[in-house]
Amino acid sequence: ASLHLEDSEDEDEAASNKSKKPRKATNLSSARASLFDQVSKQMTAKIASIQARVQDAKKAQTDEAAATKPSNSTDVATRKLYNDALEACLLLVQGWADKTVLVAAAEKHNDMLKAKAEDGKEPELVDVTVEDTVAEQSPCLRLAIAAAGTSINVERGTFLRTQACMQHFAESIPATAVDADQLDKQRLIWRRVFNCVTQLETSLKKCCGDVTKHVGSLAAAAEKDAKKQRDKEAKDAAANHMAAVQKKMKQAKAEGSDAPAIFRLEQGKLTTMKVVKGNAIPSDADLSTSFVLQECSHVKTWSDNAVCLQVLTNFGARYKKANGYEQAGKVTQPFQQRGGNEATEKFFGDVLAPVKASIVDISEFAQNWMTTSWMFGLQPKRIMAGLPPNCAACLRVLVYGEIEIYTFSTLSFLAALKEKGITVPSSTAELEQAVLDTTVEQWDLLQGKLKPTYHLLKKDEVLFTPVGHMVVEKTSASTMIYGARKSVLFKGIEAITEYAQCVALAQKDGKNTEKMVQVQDALKAATGSDQKQSQ
């Protein structure tokens, strides 16, 4: 037979209480007051806790309704099971707090029985007028517990009572006769009913968590698939761009009349790149223009470093054998830890030391920018037009060979094209192609607004190009052309506008620009902070 709420402890309950110390003899009136205080506080806290759980459950249902629906049959079936369990459990919890919910559910159940009843046969209806008492559970509550089924994990459902019944029980304690056995009985009743409510609350928490986790896991999977698609599109865009560059490289030779017009401009139509002589970039250097550093003692110290010498020599001898060299016309490879990176980072750090305060720290989301330098190897007689790596400012030093370098502001180039009525490229790929396709006559038209900066970069010279500036280059016929480079981001209004243009162009290429947007935000924040301090 099932145990009633007012029955004495059974074997399981007695066993679970063996570890408890026997109560000391006490004043029974004080014991009753203590019990009332304890029960009242527990009841108040439990009501508040369950109300919070109900709000969480409703939010989970709202979020689930707004979320993307499952697409495959397994996820659809799983979601329905979780939703049904949450709905049944939530209905029981709401009924525990408000008996009108239980009555409404019972009346709906009765209406269904009446509709299905055979003619002349009276269905067995649930009596909605009977309320919960300590002695007996109401029919409405029994129906709700049965309907909840396995969605709840309440060890002894027959002990469950509604909030109203529990509050009435708590309020009746002060009127209880001062009797030790009666107080023990009340403690047992309260422990049973309170444990049931706690288990019911835990069940609601579990059902709520199941729905939330299922929605979240499917959303995460969908985002992962979307990222894969974006990465694929970016990869395809890069492949298409590379194919276009290769086509252009096959059409144009590094020497001869068929080379792009920029390489055939007269000296007077070019600006000679500024030469700075010294060991480091001057603290007052204009970081919005290109320049070259000569007679830098740090270059020799770095190139004579035993590890760097070995690593660079090996790279120079082998880079032409690397995969993709023939197609791309170049090879890049990062310096490794204990493989020249430390010495190379120190070299570039020494060169940048006077302007270190202008460097934007983006190590939080782009650690490699701050801690890694790269080797590069170029194909002889090669032509290329493109933005610098990561669209950042760049330091390059040649270890072997020569390169003709032409640089200019990307923003200025686009603005000049627009002003002269020449088609303005909208993506990075279109920009690179436009630079190579611009005719001598068109360069003449742009002279008033744009004049490319030129320099023949030689061994041991350090080239600086600003953030977002276009670099057009032609390598010499030397058998090997290789060196090292370092990307860095400098503060400044010009840097912000140039980089913003690079982001817009990359987005038109269909590339994933999430990282670029983070860099852009950091650049704006650092520049804005500097301006506030100067004021």
Spatial distance between the Cα atoms of 410 and 503, rounded to a whole number of angstroms? 12
Rounded-to-integer distance, Cα 87 and Cα 149, Å: 12
DSSP element (H, E) containing 434: helix 428-437
**Global confidence as pTM:** 0.56
3-class secondary structure, 336:
strand
Neighbouring-strand partners of residue 456 = 404
Reply yes or no on whether the pLDDT at 360 is more than 90.
yes
Instruction: Tell whether the model's pLDDT for residue 14 goes beyond 80.
Output: no
**Structure confidence at residue 531 as a pLDDT band (50, 70, 90):** low
Burial 212-221 (b: 16+ CB within 10 A, else e): bebbeebeee
Write out pLDDT tens, residues 378-432. Answer: 999 899 999 999 999 999 999 999 999 999 999 999 999 999 999 999 999 999 9
Mean pLDDT of 515-532: 84
Token pair belonging to 53: 């759980």
Give the residue-averaged pLDDT of 142-164: 87
Instruction: Calculate mean pLDDT across residues 173-191.
Output: 85
Q: Which of 47, 2, 49 is nearest to 166 (CA)?
A: 47
- Answer yes or no: are the C-beta atoms of 388 and 487 closer than 8 Å: yes
Whole-number average pLDDT of the chain: 88
What confidence score (pLDDT) does residue 403 get?
A: 96
CB-CB contact of 279 with 302 (8 Å): no
User: Which of 498, 408, 377, 427 has the alpha carbon at shortest distance from 238?
Assistant: 427
Judge whether 229 and 358 are in contact, CB under 8 Å: no
Question: Is a pLDDT exceeding 80 seen at residue 19?
Answer: no
Q: What is the structure's pLDDT at 226?
A: 85
370 close to 361: Cβ distance less than 8 angstroms: yes
pLDDT band at 237; cut points 50, 70, 90: confident
More confident residue, 229 or 18: 229
Q: Is the predicted pLDDT of residue 7 greater than 60, yes or no?
A: yes
- CA distance linking residue 501 with residue 521, whole number of Å: 14
> 432, 350, 359: which is closest to 397 by C-alpha?
350
Q: How many angstroms separate the CA atoms of 413 and 418, rounded? A: 9
Neighbours of 73 (CB within 10 A): 8
pLDDT tens-digit readout, 463-495: 999 999 999 999 988 899 999 999 999 999 999
Position 190 pLDDT exceeds 70 = yes
Separation between Cα atoms, residue 195 and residue 312, nearest integer Å: 73
Domain ranges in the chain are: 11-226, 252-296+357-534
Per-residue pLDDT tens digits for 85-142: 999 899 988 988 898 998 898 889 888 888 887 776 778 888 888 888 888 888 998 8
